[in-house]
Structure 1
Amino acid sequence: MFTKEDGSGLHPAWVTEEFERIAFEIGLPPIRLHDLRHGAATLALAAGVDMKTVSAMLRHSSQAITSDTYTSVLPEVAHSAAEKIAAIVPRSVSRTAGLPTGSPCRLLEGDSTGPGAGQACAAESRRGESNP
């Protein structure tokens, strides 16, 4: 909401026209005043601000509205979320697992059981033996 110095409201059409005039005068590309709201929300989410805060900032009635509106716009937010999730997944330490001494194979800890475990490594060893 925009107001005059005395606190009375400005007509939205006047604010829009003034914004467009000023933007044109300073050489900005054509942009609607309302687009600034979307831009602010998009930048906030891209910066990692949580959805609840952005939703409150926009005065949406629910986080679902904010999420539905902005997460589809931001593939980098989804990418960032995937990276954060991947960062907390425990990683195994590489080691030789019950292989003959001198074997060129390395297995990840936990990969020594289950169907086919170690088969690719055994095949790799055989290739190594047949290639001098």
Structure 2
Amino acid sequence: MKTTADQDSILYNLINQSVLKTFIRGGIYKGERPLDSTNEDIVISSTAISEGTLQAGVANVNVYIPKIYQNIGGKMQTIKDTARVAEVLAVAGEVLHEAYGSYYSLWTSRQGDYDEPDIKQTRLHFRIEFRLSNTN
């Protein structure tokens, strides 16, 4: 039987062997990122996987993009770095769009971006659907 750990490893290897690894300005992590990280990090976490010969699973890939400082009305404030978000979305979207291996297929089923004001970052979220063959 395949597990959520298998899904995490598949995504980690996919990202680690792609242009996305060198494009982001931080690390790639399974489960969680280092406390107080201010880098452009990728965090991979699986949420569910079914049992059986053909398994279905769900994982999340989150990419954190630091906000930029801008003088607005005479006050320095943080705002979404829309240019960098667009660049990362283009590269990550291409890598995570869909992939196939000897016993799995995966694809992005949803994408969104969210404000993370407490850490002054924008989180790009990719929901990844898996189909795994448990016959190996």
| TM-score, L = length of structure 1 | 0.22
Higher strand proportion: 2
Between 1 and 2, higher relative CO (CA 8 Å, sep ≥ 6) is seen in 2
**Higher relative helix content:** 1
Q: Under a length normalisation based on structure 2, what TM-score does the superposition of the two structures give?
A: 0.21
